[in-house]
Amino acid sequence: MYQVTNPATGELLAEYPMATDAEIANAVGRAHEAYLSWRETPITERARLVKRAAEIFGERAEELSAIITREMGKRIDESRGELQIVQEIFTYYAENGPTLVADEALAIQGGNAVVQKRPIGALIGIMPWNYPYYQVARFAAPNLVLGNTIILKHARNCPESAAAIESVLHDAGIPADAYINVYASAEQIASMLADPRVQGVSLTGSERAGSAVAMEAGRNLKKVVLELGGSDPLVLLDSSDLDKTVGIAVDARMGNNGQACNAPKRMIVMDGMYDEFVAKMTERMSAFEPGDPADPSTTLAPLSSQAAADELVEQIADAVAKGATLHTGGTHIQGPGAFVAPAVLTGVTKDMDAYYGELFGPAVVIYRATSEEEAIELANDTVYGLGSGVFSDDLERARRVGERIEAGMVYINAAGGSQADLPFGGIKRSGVGRELGPLGMEEFMNKKIVRL
């Protein structure tokens, strides 16, 4: 079953039945048939409908925000913020899509040629619970404008928001079979990928899920985009305003209660500021208060589930048992709901799961560095390579260090983030491919060469 369980109370609110195999097969057939006509719809019309979808997301923002606060415990102001970037993404591709897919002339010897940018067919989207609307938007918006059709499998704890997205898109005028929501199983995903009418798959989620989907996609020679985990470093080289820098670091780490792939999870601080940074970070992290995520005054939301809370507490306990120092938090908060007190860890070493593993929740690990070289080595000592942040009053110094960080994204004097016109993605075990911006339009595109 797909279930809505309020993580703030543990109350089961609704259940949705899994799709049958026949329903899944029917969805693939419908998406393929819709593609044959959707690709022929003028791109200006496709863009107009996507723009209307952006408007409806805005019109229904309060209703949609309340849904994800119930489903996965996001604080209501952050839920509203998620709807804002969703509108920006749909608007960006609606307004820029026709230009992004315009034919591109090539200068070649002995003639002329153009690159025609065309859709490829029906796609599968496998989306996570941590940003139920945003993650779908950055996959769906560019591909609908391009002319692909979509079969969307959302996380099992987000069935209500999954249905709400489908309703918005259909109400905007996008054909019912051009975007189909399915409550599918992992086995059914494999069967869809084996169908020759499906041309690709995009997954945002765990490394384990990404590996499984990539294996099935490879077996069936299907294009794949993966946005997986991250253990992003924040490198603090110097600061003339440490309070401000700590504030940025805390806000970035605690956004979505720490449940963000590109949040800074490892903070690497130069020796001269280390002790003061740890003290200020501990003070700030200790100040969060749990409460109802639907109440705007709440500062600490629950994790998405009790299982997620248990996993985070176990990772922290493992580190402490092996010699790490826990400065604050790291334990369950008594009472109903999946609440964990925000944690600050130091002294984490390679024999601890917290060193290489991803802490997906309100916890941060702080390391001391005695030189730029050591800071860079620590930043790159990870299996992941999603984002990173480098802080310094000397921009040239920050750029120099940032160039040596092995990641898909480097932010100077900022910690992570996302915007519609800026490509997003990583390297190493953080995945393959890019979303958002002009590059996000190209992943499931047939760049067809026509030689004259």
Among all residues, which ones are annotated catalytic? 227, 261
Cα 344 to Cα 279: distance, rounded to the nearest angstrom: 10
Report phi then psi at 250, rounded to 5. -65, -45
Longest dimension (CA), the chain: 75
> What is the side-by-side strand order in the sheet with 223-227?
179-182, 149-153, 122-126, 198-204, 223-227, 431-432
Buried b (16+ CB within 10 A) or exposed e, 130-165: bbbbbbbbbbbbbbbbbbbbbbbbbbbbbbbbbbbb
Per the structure block, which two tokens stand in for 151? 């079969």
- Helix, strand, coil shares of the chain, percent, nearest 5, are 45, 25, 35
Cα 29 to Cα 31: distance, rounded to the nearest angstrom: 6
> What does DSSP say about strands 179-182 and 122-126: parallel, antiparallel, or unpaired?
unpaired
Per the structure block, which two tokens stand in for 439? 């590059």
Per the structure block, which two tokens stand in for 244? 């401000």
Residue 263 CB-half CA count within 13 A: 24
The 3-state DSSP class for residue 194 equals: helix
Cα 30 to Cα 60: distance, rounded to the nearest angstrom: 28
DSSP 20: P
> What is the side-by-side strand order in the sheet with 389-391?
325-328, 343-346, 363-369, 264-270, 232-236, 389-391, 411-412
Specify whether the CB–CB gap between 402 and 304 falls below 8 A. Answer: no
Instruction: Find how far residue 58's CA is from the centre of its chain.
Output: 21
DSSP 59-106: HTHHHHHHHHHHHH---HHHHHHHHHHHHHHHHHHHHHHHHHTS-EEE
How far the first Cα of the chain sits from its last, in Å, is 55
